[in-house]
Structure 1
């Protein structure tokens, strides 16, 4: 405190020495403190934030790095698949077809490398070509498919401990999401079928959405279009 007072006195003395005013100024008390500096230099930043807040959250001004002038070369791009490695295709295929209602769009086997790929989705398989090669092309032309990768032998290997699902340390991948007609009715059915839950619709703060696990422990979010708007209203 003494050092601060001494510095203040010296600053004040300098001010008196170079002041162009001749009027007498009362002596400075020991408790003198420098006036708080105004933060005018931050005003442009605050003003720009206020301006951008009136724009949609998805606008480039609210999302640094987001580009809107997209390269014409990307016009044909779309998200086609998400891949899960699975221990036992028999168990996984049963879950995704019987429990979640997916169809097997295409299976690819690679004997030399000893693994198989199973592409699942909600497409009408009656529209798939009968020619195997053409069916592969058709499958890869569908959006949002699930690719299950099976490395042969894991289903019978007692030493195999399973795959990391991304939701334990170190965290990375989180989940896939599935739209259903009614979250609560879907979850009632899942319960009857013995599906493992991470979160039921009324658990936690976010009511109306659920998370289940597939046989390998991967998380699947369950939601419906009638409720998801309200669930995310505060974040919109």
Structure 2
């Protein structure tokens, strides 16, 4: 057996990221790992539906933004509340790209990671 488990985003401001993911995508912490010396903190976010998690990694000594390159990767979510979430994300000001022809759009998190929103079909 082999199956997906989690995906990682490194973040500069953990609380800001936790607040964003809770508000924008209704994700909540399902487990954490904290270094005994406080040098890092891992928080795994779940959607309450699947076993897949998004790991947010915070490193105490990291001060500069992460280089995300050309952002040729992204995380995707499917939803049966597409229009409702689109309105919410527009109000939040986090929509960074829309593709009406494909019926999808992307939001960006506080660190600039792109997240695709796909309607359930």
What is the TM-score of this pair, normalised by structure 1? Answer: 0.47
Q: Does the Cα contact within 8 Å between 1:183 and 1:208 map onto a contact in 2?
A: no
Question: Which residue among 26, 44, 56 is the counterpart of 1:148?
Answer: 56
The number of residues matched between the two structures is 121
Instruction: Indicate the residue corresponding to 1:100 in structure 2.
Output: 25
Asked which structure has the greater RCO (Cα within 8 Å, sep 6+), the reply is 2
Instruction: Indicate the residue corresponding to 2:67 in structure 1.
Output: 164
Question: Which residue among 96, 107, 114 is the counterpart of 1:212?
Answer: 107
Structure 1 residue 177: Cα displacement: 0.2
Superposition map of 1:5-24 within 5 A: none
Structure 2 counterpart SS, 1:207: coil
Superposition map of 1:1-236 within 5 A: 75=1, 77-112=2-37, 114-123=39-48, 143-154=51-62, 157=63, 160=64, 162-166=65-69, 168=70, 174-195=73-94, 197-202=95-100, 206-226=101-121
Q: CA RMSD in A?
A: 2.0
Structure 1 residue 78: Cα displacement: 1.4
What is the TM-score of this pair, normalised by structure 2? Answer: 0.87
Whole-angstrom distance in 1 between the partners of 2:102 and 2:83: 10
Structure 1 residue 175: Cα displacement: 0.1
Listed as ranges, the gaps of 5+ residues in structure 2 are none
Whole-angstrom distance in 2 between the partners of 1:200 and 1:120: 25
Whole-angstrom distance in 2 between the partners of 1:217 and 1:78: 27
Structure with the bigger percentage of strand: 2
Structure with the bigger percentage of helix: 1
Q: Does the Cα contact within 8 Å between 1:178 and 1:222 map onto a contact in 2?
A: yes
Listed as ranges, the gaps of 5+ residues in structure 1 are 1-74, 125-141, 227-236
